[in-house]
Amino acid sequence: MTANKKKHKALKIARNIFLIFFAVCVAAAGAITLRGYYMYTSALEQLPVRRAAGEVRAKEGFTPLSELPDTYLDAVIAAEDHRFYEHGGVDYIAIGRAVYNDIRTMSFAEGGSTITQQLAKNLYFTQEKELTRKVAEVFMAWNLEHSFSKEEILELYVNSIYYGSGCYSIGDASRTYFHKEPSDMTDYECTMLAGVPNAPSVYDPSVNPDLASQRQRQVVGLMVKYAGLSQDKAELLTCGVN
């Protein structure tokens, strides 16, 4: 066999291997998407989104968005999902960045979930990082965006996310950590609580005050970057001055 024929045969084998690998990946992705869709529809049959929202609003200590400081809401969006008002439930830019970083580090360290996806997870699914559940979460996020306004989604989110120390709403967190209603929180307290849900067991102010303060400074930095907070105001906030 000549060198050219050997090269041609090797290229043909490589092409066939690639096509088989590609077909397997497509089939696997299709199967995961289908399982995720079934998980989504099953969850929706058991608890329609309007009823799920009603259960959150009926909780003792539910705090309407109108009673929350603007600083807190700006901090939450800057820290968790700065394109919240621009996407339709899924931030494809954030997902692309997360996939790249996860492949680079060979881990699931970065998720790219939006506030809407996190709300979907809080209302319906587990915290486990599993592909089928992530797909179901995406379908549910699209449903939530179709069913509610952005303000309603944000209101449901801050009243269902975990803040550590047994607190599952901003009202509970404010009363537990600061002994005051959410509407009375200072700017420093607002920025501190906005950072806790990222890792409640790590940033719980009553357990790890130093780490909570470190996270608060990160949130303030994100507000400078995404929410138009001035550097002078940021420096005061990181020192605990309103």
pLDDT single digits (tens) 10-33: 555 555 454 444 444 455 567 678
The predicted pLDDT at position 96 comes to 66
Tens of pLDDT, residue by residue over 59-78, are 988 999 999 999 999 999 99
Place of tokens 């940021």: 234
Q: 56 or 240, which is more confident?
A: 56
Say if 105 falls within a structural domain: yes
Question: What value, to the nearest 5°, has the Cα angle with vertex 121 and ends 136 and 58?
Answer: 125
Which CATH number goes with the domain that contains 231?
1.10.3810.10
First vs last C-alpha separation in the chain: 81
pLDDT for 125 equals 87
In the predicted structure, residue 108 carries a pLDDT above the cut 60: no
What one-letter code names the amino acid at 211?
Answer: L
Q: How many domains, the chain?
A: 1
HEC string of the chain equals CCHHHHHHHHHHHHHHHHHHHHHHHHHHHHHHHHHHHHHHHHHHHHCCHHHHHHHHHCCCCCCCHHHCCHHHHHHHHHHHCCCCCCCCCCCHHHHHHHHHHHHHHCCCCCCCCCHHHHHHHHHHCCCCCCHHHHHHHHHHHHHHHHHCCHHHHHHHHHCCCCCCCCCCCHHHHHHHHHCCCHHHCCHHHHHHHHHHHHCHHHHCCCCCHHHHHHHHHHHHHHHHHHCCCCHHHHHHHHCCCC
pLDDT of res. 110: 47
Per residue in 185-240, pLDDT (tens digit) is 999 999 999 999 999 999 999 999 999 999 999 999 999 999 998 998 888 888 76
- Decide which of 123 and 34 is more confident: 123
In a domain, 2, yes or no: no
Residue 71, number of CB atoms within 10 A of its CB: 22
In a domain, 1, yes or no: no
Q: How does pLDDT run across 143-183, given as a tens digit for each residue?
A: 999 999 999 999 999 999 999 999 999 999 999 999 999 99
pLDDT number for residue 18: 47
Containing domain of residue 126, as a range?
Answer: 58-160+168-238
In a domain, 84, yes or no: yes
Q: Is 41 a member of any domain?
A: no
**What is residue 103's predicted lDDT score, i.e. its pLDDT?**
47
pTM, whole model, 2 decimals?
Answer: 0.83
| Mean pLDDT of all residues belonging to the chain | 84
Q: Is residue 104 part of a domain?
A: yes
Q: Is residue 50 part of a domain?
A: no
47 in a domain, yes or no?
no
CA distance 208 to 179: 18
